[in-house]
Chain A
Amino acid sequence: MRKFLVFLVLAIVVLSFAAKIRVGVAIPAADHGWTGGMVWWAQYAIKQYQNDPDVEFYLVTAKEPSEQIAQVQALMAKGIDALVINPYESAPLTPICVQAFRQGIFTVIVDRGINSEEYNCYIAGDNYMYGYLAGKYIAEKLKGKGNIVVIRGIPCSIDDERVQAFKDAISLYPDLKIIAEQPGYWSREKAFEVMQTLLTKFGTIDAVWTGDDDMLHGVLLALKQAGRDKNMVLVGGACEKNMVKMIMDGHPLIGVNFTYPPNMISTAINLAVMALRKQDLNGFYQRGIPRKIILATETVTKENAKDYYFPESVF
């Protein structure tokens, strides 16, 4: 009799768990604005399921690769049906992601790829268009003629790809000249200093492109301080909320922004749930979820800015 009771209780527990979809979400801790945004969007997406009793989420954030590996191991030990992960670094996280995939966990890799094809779905932003569209916009705005300053981020492969794309777009216009290309290390202060110096060096600067919006804030400050905040085209990127607000309010120098959306994590979470529920994507003739998705870089202007403005987000 007692044995039977124990069995009953165990069976209920097991069954009730089995009925639920369990999704593990592993992302880096907020160590700058963009990752902060990703954490916020992950929480946001999870909150959308709060009235859905059949889904359960485990969100973990890591400060370094080894921590993230340990977290994924713990998630797997706990038992998850899907893993949504933005790997802290590619190489060290590859084995654990592959292991998850081989155990039949639906594995979604977000933005930073792993060194293996063994995963279910990969979703990322588009670094090339991020640079290319900025270049194209500036070229058209300047009518193909003028001097451009490029303040890039921390020199690395992502940054290289964006800058190269920017130059590809510019190269279609022979009268456009990049008069300076300096690193601003994705820092307001550094960008301020660089811009201050370039303003003394060059009498005419027609356009400035910065690798992200944070640096554009620094550039704006330098321009204002030098009294040269007019007749100039300024472009940043990644849609930091204050920048989007400025566009929305009709800033005279900044008319455009380009997405590299941290809410790709929200999409990834939804994709994982849809896959486990065997849902298909609307408009696709194929079944299930695509294996590789590169999100389009969207152009934000005064007209559509309100759709990209999330005042509660940290980014």
Chain B
Amino acid sequence: MVDEVILSAKDICMDFSSVRVLHNVDVQFEKGMVYGVVGENGAGKSTLMRILSGFLQPTRGDIFIEGHKVQLNPLKAKEYGIILIPQELNLVDSLRVYENVFLGSEVRKGFFLNRSSMIEATRRYMQQLSLRIDPQTYVSELSPAQKQMVEIVKAISKSVKILIMDEPTSSLSQEEISKLFDVIRSMKNSGITVVFISHKLKEVKVVTDSLIILRDGRKVHEGKTKELSERQIAELMIGRKIDEMYPPKLSPSNELILQVKNLTTKDGTVKNANFEVRKGEILGFYGLVGSGRTELMEAIIGVRKVDSGQILLNGKQVKIESPQDAKKLGIVYLPEDRKTAGIILSLQVFMNTTIMSLEKFSKVLLGRRREIETFRNYEKKFDIKTRTPFQLAKTLSGGNQQKVVISKLVNTGAKIFIFDEPTRGVDVNAKHQIYEIMHQMIKEYDATFVVVSSELPEIIGICNRIMVMRSGEITACISGEQISEKNLIYHATGLEEGDSYKG
């Protein structure tokens, strides 16, 4: 294979509401290679890929295709053979497989659609990738992995040259992942360049030839995959030694503060959950997407209907039917999706800090001066970077937004904090600070944490014990020496790790 650069980008910068999320990134992709683009959540991977496939216009920088400078939009990019499969797949559930494959480029016979030739062509592509999906089934009936494959077939049908896959494995089982890797290899062999975005190092290590590592919107490394160990990749991603990233674990007391017994939700997303949290503990919850972690937390704070089960606080049974009840009992929740459920973007930052504890600032009228003082306090304590308390929350970076949300929760005076993906979309530095804040709160306020996270290094790095969930049930409680990636994945998927990554 010749070193033929087919797509390159120079000096790409990108700003979102005056926050820079990409800084002067240079990348180039050669024909028939598999690239891994890795970085933590919020490192700018998806943004970069959306720029390369024409969905976003960079604030600055140029894109070249086979040496020619181009202006991309999604249609043009498709013409050049650049296709992005986003994390949220772009399939129409109510249409059949072949209809999705040929959506927008239907084959016609005269005025009518040529169904049989489309079905035949789809079948041929399937064979090419040795897949067994009937072109005539409805997409809604497919598994997430099969949907992923349909996206790939769709790309191949458009004579793809560069296929960009954004976190394709996030909802796949180990077996499905290895199937996907087979497909990636066969594409590589037929000269297609594959760009594989992930923050799972094992997968990257197995399937890619070359690596581009991003951190906080900057390219920090580029080179052959085999030259780096997993640990080295991880340290490049977080920008410091792993041991420095997570503060040394504290030891919790033996006092049980929260107990959940036989909790089952009405919609069946959580079945018979049992667990307990000790005062001063950081208890982790790990599981794949859809395993019921978030749903369990929502049930505890009263936004998801509970069918049966008990919640005990300090040994006494309590009734929580709404977040108001939870707040009164000192239990607060940091939702996983910050922008839609955590922060209120169009509200001024200081108002975000006080919105959950306004009763502290008012008898009848709000004491705005005291609200601002309170915010200033947290600003200093949590190192929140703002120009003024009056700026709108949407003008803050992800990390600072998250710190504001945390300040909102802390200001309620709660003792039990349920953090769902607390560092999603947060830069490495802020991540580290958030862990520090958690420790500070345990030491100063007797706080207790329940942390839901899908980032293995994080959950391993900060939690005293980890509960693993699968299909709505708690499958394991792992603590101490037992905590390892292998163990967690095993309990989360129910599969022995190892041979599934066979090349």
**Chains A and B in contact, CB within 8 Å:** no
Give me the interface of B with A, judged by CB distance under 8 Å: none
